[in-house]
Amino acid sequence: MAGILVAKIALNAATYAIDKPYDYTVPEEVADTLRPGMRVVVPFSAGNRHTEGIVLTLEADRPPEPKRKRILTVLDEEPVLDAKALRLALWMRERWFCTVYDAARAMLPAGLYFSLQDRWVLKEGVDQETALAATGKSEQGRQLVELLFAWGGQADVRQLKEAFGTKDPNPALKLLRDKGVLTLETSASRGVGDKVEQVAALAIPPEEAMAQFTGRRRSAPLQYAVVELLCSLGSASAKELCYFTGASSATLRSLAKRGVLTLEQREVFRRVALPEGVEAAGEPQLNEEQQRAYEGLDQLVRSGQPSAALLYGVTGSGKTQVYLKLIRRVLERGGSALVLVPEIALTPQLLRLFSAHFGDQIGVLHSSLRAGERYDEWKRIRTGEARVVIGTRSAVFAPLTRLQLIILDEEQEPTYQSENVPKYHAREVAKYRCVQEKGLLLLSSATPSVESMYRAKQGLYHLFTLRRRYNERPLPPVEIVDMKQELRSGNGTDLSGALKKRLTEMMERGEQSILFLNRRGASRMVSCGECGEVPTCPRCSVYLTYHSANGRLMCHYCGHSEPLPDACPSCGGALNFIGTGTQKVEEELKQAFPQREVLRMDTDTVSATQTHEKLLARFEREKIPILIGTQMVAKGLDFENVTLVGVISADLSLYAEDYRAGERTFSLLTQVVGRAGRGTKGGAALIQTFTPEHDVIRCAARQDYDAFYAQEIELRRLRGCPPFQDLFVLTASARSEAGALRACMRMRQALESWLRQPPLEQLTLRILGPAPASVVKVNDRYRYRLTLACSNTKQIRALVAELLRCAQADKENRGVSVFADVNPLD
């Protein structure tokens, strides 16, 4: 007899402060089938609310503990995470201050997710009178019974809470459960992934709908706006409808209730269709330099020892050829390989190339796959059918077996760092996996992150360099234009005289140009010409930005939107746009070159209908003279006819309060300048800046990474930034500003007192703050933070973890939540 088993389980309901493996009794019926890595439903906390968990280990119940709670349901037929993956989840908790369950969730495809729904159900054969009798005199009990009978004998927990408003339905529910009138049931339905969209379609003929609503234009303006828009479109995504009309989902629901429209879930994204009929490619041909790199790297893979290398290759040096050959060898030896890219949408050529070399053996994983397809790809990978995985950040968790090689292409890209909990960095996860699997981690870039280059120079990573451009084409001449000078000579626009002159020449020759605006989001603010007031978000401490697509002012933090007012709300003055956006530059270009067409590519013009691929195809086909865009135009574009590349404002990203600002700017400018003159016609680049003497800009203009690195690494050393020290940012958020600030101050005090005595008095640690977060208020919560700069060791991580637990337990911190980030992006 095996005896009773006890499972140690990581729970979804546990917050960071109380996260640990919880023990549950394994029911005998499932003792044979349950294994670590399976998900289960268990009762948790005093209310025994049902929560999901993942089994970490199973062991004999010694000594027996009869009153322990039992597992309610087993959700999986086989483990979704293997032993290595579970260890990775535990490591992630330690490294990024998340719960084990948070980590596990990040590792699994969203399509695999269950959404648990708790429902209270009347027991069979109970009639209303007996139920009422069981409630005694309780008013809530009566209300509850009436509701349940009205709703057909069952109600889900959220429905009940809503119906009860401020009152608590729980006591009455517990009473009725104990009297045997009700039971709590949990249904686990496959969660629809977040890439599902609600689509609204008109349910009645447009004429009829308009007839119904014309009279209601005044009384129900939002409903009217929705109906009007739907009449012209027929159907549209709910999100878009709300975006364009300012309606909320409640408006749509009430229209659905009236029978005017139907709402249904539809998956919006398609799988990246692998190019069909691609000819199978043969062994890649390498030049001498590539061959040397390949041989060195292949030897590292074959060593069967964990290793890491940096492949530093200038743009156009053919890093991809090296990847392909390495992966071929890995496959021949029966291993598997993982290739991470910053953004899948920007790499169609790479996908084509990989499918030419590896055909059906490739698997693609990224966030815009449909939930089902993502799940299918995940299964194909797990079964070993797909042995080469190409994907974005989260693909770093791909369940490959016999993993011998992980490649991070453009390893310096910030997209490798997750913005949501857990805020892991794919590079670090990849490093961990390579150690686990005894494989090679290959970081690759034309402009490596300062951290990675430093480690390479320290000898922690093997360094391979590709300096030759494959066609040996010289770098384009780069001109730096001083915009201060322009301003002094009376030109207040974003287009310098030099740029206009170049554009004119270029167009006369029938060639094309790409203009790059170094600014995230390309947003515009509005200010009053009279009183200078700028509209702000009512819930967050940020200015609202104007979106031309829907004519509304929107908050980028909480999504609040309002129509653009006709005049300044406080003084009635005229409103003007401020700041530089792609739209403004587009208008200026149209003014300067009235007969020429300008194509704009930014988040506004790239939408569901206009993918950036389509836009780019149009740019190439129709030879539109000027393409203006943000980040998107910086990557991997290769057009024969583009002979001029211009950077409108090189310095905008330099002023970010982030130690990575220099690196980001350098990398972006280098990529953009590298775009010029890819074809046989040669070309030129032009950089407009207000700080022409800035070293980062001068280095980028010369494409001189080595000089940039030498400069930047000293700066980092001086400032105590990565790679020398990591920044642990503790953020306190609360409804009251004083509360958030106080929590930070108390953390600082606690920390200082710990640092005065053993064993921590030797620790070198700088404490910065408390300081307000870059956006102090988000969604009506104030955020303050404390930054610790220190080398990233187990000891300091344990200290941060302890600090978080203390802050959460601190009675003074009522209503305050505290979390920690490592080297956060903002």
83-96 helix and 794-809 helix, angle to the nearest 10 degrees? 70
Choose the binding region for DNA from 161-169, 316-324, 501-509, 584-592 (rule: CB under 7 A): 161-169
Neighbours of 225 (CB within 10 A): 18
Choose the binding region for DNA from 131-139, 371-379, 384-392, 500-508 (rule: CB under 7 A): 131-139
Label each residue of 595-609 as H, E or C.
CCCEEEECCCCCCCC
What does the alpha-carbon distance between residue 188 and residue 535 come to, in Å, rounded to a whole number?
A: 45
Task: Evaluate whether 791 touches 723 at the Cβ level (below 8 Å).
Answer: no
Which residue among 22, 101, 243, 619 contacts DNA (CB under 7 A)?
Answer: 22
For residue 24, state whether it binds DNA (rule: CB under 7 A).
Answer: yes
Task: Evaluate whether 24 touches 7 at the Cβ level (below 8 Å).
Answer: yes
Give whichever of 125 and 165 is closer to DNA, judged by the CB atom. 165
State both tokens at 765. 């640690």
The CB-of-59 to DNA minimum distance in angstroms stands at 12
Please report, as a single letter, which amino acid is at residue 766. Answer: R
Neighbours of 572 (CB within 10 A): 12
The CB-of-636 to DNA minimum distance in angstroms stands at 42
Residues 6+ apart with CB under 8 A from 101: 10, 11, 12, 14, 19, 52, 53, 54
Q: Classify 757 as helix, strand or coil.
A: coil
Give whichever of 175 and 238 is closer to DNA, judged by the CB atom. 175
Residues 6+ apart with CB under 8 A from 232: none
The CB-of-26 to DNA minimum distance in angstroms stands at 11
Choose the binding region for DNA from 38-46, 202-210, 431-439, 481-489 (rule: CB under 7 A): 38-46
The CB-of-10 to DNA minimum distance in angstroms stands at 12
Q: Which residues between 68 and 127 bind DNA (CB under 7 A)? A: 68-69
Give whichever of 138 and 561 is closer to DNA, judged by the CB atom. 138
Which residue among 62, 127, 137, 718 contacts DNA (CB under 7 A)?
Answer: 137
Choose the binding region for DNA from 166-174, 351-359, 552-560, 737-745 (rule: CB under 7 A): 166-174
Which residue among 19, 34, 41, 44 contacts DNA (CB under 7 A)?
Answer: 44
Signed CA dihedral, 261, 262, 264, 269: sign only: negative
Residues 6+ apart with CB under 8 A from 815: 734, 735, 736, 739
Which residue among 27, 36, 43, 296 contacts DNA (CB under 7 A)?
Answer: 43
For residue 64, state whether it binds DNA (rule: CB under 7 A).
Answer: no
Q: Classify 19 as helix, strand or coil.
A: coil
Could you tell me how many residues of this chain bind DNA (CB under 7 A)?
30
Signed CA dihedral, 798, 801, 806, 809: sign only: negative
Choose the binding region for DNA from 40-48, 290-298, 400-408, 534-542 (rule: CB under 7 A): 40-48
Give whichever of 15 and 128 is closer to DNA, judged by the CB atom. 15
Give ∠ CA 69-73-74 in degrees, rounded to 5.
115
State both tokens at 324. 């392909």
Task: Indicate the DSSP class of residue 682.
Answer: -
For residue 262, state whether it binds DNA (rule: CB under 7 A).
Answer: no
Choose the binding region for DNA from 41-49, 109-117, 203-211, 588-596 (rule: CB under 7 A): 41-49
Query: Which residue reads 């389509």 in tokens?
Result: 614
Residues 6+ apart with CB under 8 A from 331: 337, 358, 361, 387, 388
Which residue among 218, 488, 621, 811 contacts DNA (CB under 7 A)?
Answer: 811
Question: What CA–CA distances, in Å, run from 17 to 22, 344, 576, 806?
Answer: 14, 36, 48, 9
**Please, what's the b/e burial string for 442-456 (b: 16 or more CB within 10 A of its CB; e: otherwise)?**
bbbbbbbbbbbbbbb
Give whichever of 20 and 520 is closer to DNA, judged by the CB atom. 20
Which residue among 35, 79, 116, 138 contacts DNA (CB under 7 A)?
Answer: 138
The CB-of-735 to DNA minimum distance in angstroms stands at 10
The beta-strand segments (E) located in 368-499 are: 388-391, 403-409, 440-445, 462-466, 478-482
For residue 23, state whether it binds DNA (rule: CB under 7 A).
Answer: yes
Alpha carbon dihedral 789, 792, 794, 800, in 10-degree steps, equals 30
Give whichever of 20 and 717 is closer to DNA, judged by the CB atom. 20
Give whichever of 184 and 350 is closer to DNA, judged by the CB atom. 184
Give whichever of 139 and 208 is closer to DNA, judged by the CB atom. 139
The CB-of-20 to DNA minimum distance in angstroms stands at 7
State both tokens at 246. 């300012």
Give whichever of 157 and 721 is closer to DNA, judged by the CB atom. 157
The CB-of-324 to DNA minimum distance in angstroms stands at 48
What does the alpha-carbon distance between residue 20 and residue 131 come to, in Å, rounded to a whole number?
A: 40
Smallest Cα–Cα separation from 379: which of 401, 406, 399?
A: 399
Q: Which residues between 769 and 808 bind DNA (CB under 7 A)? A: 808
For residue 817, state whether it binds DNA (rule: CB under 7 A).
Answer: yes
For residue 135, state whether it binds DNA (rule: CB under 7 A).
Answer: no
The contact mask relative to DNA for 229-248 (x = CB under 7 A, - = no) is --------------------
For residue 469, state whether it binds DNA (rule: CB under 7 A).
Answer: no
State both tokens at 66. 């009869």
For residue 166, state whether it binds DNA (rule: CB under 7 A).
Answer: yes
The CB-of-733 to DNA minimum distance in angstroms stands at 8
For residue 167, state whether it binds DNA (rule: CB under 7 A).
Answer: yes
The CB-of-72 to DNA minimum distance in angstroms stands at 12
Which residue among 87, 119, 174, 271 contacts DNA (CB under 7 A)?
Answer: 174
Which residue among 49, 329, 352, 379 contacts DNA (CB under 7 A)?
Answer: 49
For residue 170, state whether it binds DNA (rule: CB under 7 A).
Answer: yes
Give whichever of 68 and 509 is closer to DNA, judged by the CB atom. 68
Which residue among 33, 45, 130, 607 contacts DNA (CB under 7 A)?
Answer: 45
Please report, as a single letter, which amino acid is at residue 402. Answer: R
For residue 334, state whether it binds DNA (rule: CB under 7 A).
Answer: no
Q: Give the ranges where 438-531 is alpha helix by DSSP (H).
A: 450-457, 483-488, 497-508
The CB-of-31 to DNA minimum distance in angstroms stands at 16
Give whichever of 623 and 814 is closer to DNA, judged by the CB atom. 814
**Please, what's the b/e burial string for 785-822 (b: 16 or more CB within 10 A of its CB; e: otherwise)?**
bbbbbbebeeebbebbbebbebbbebeebeebbbbbbb
Choose the binding region for DNA from 9-17, 73-81, 316-324, 411-419 (rule: CB under 7 A): 9-17
| Binding interface with DNA (CB under 7 A) | 13, 15, 17-18, 20, 22-24, 43-49, 68-69, 137-140, 166-168, 170, 174, 808, 811, 815, 817
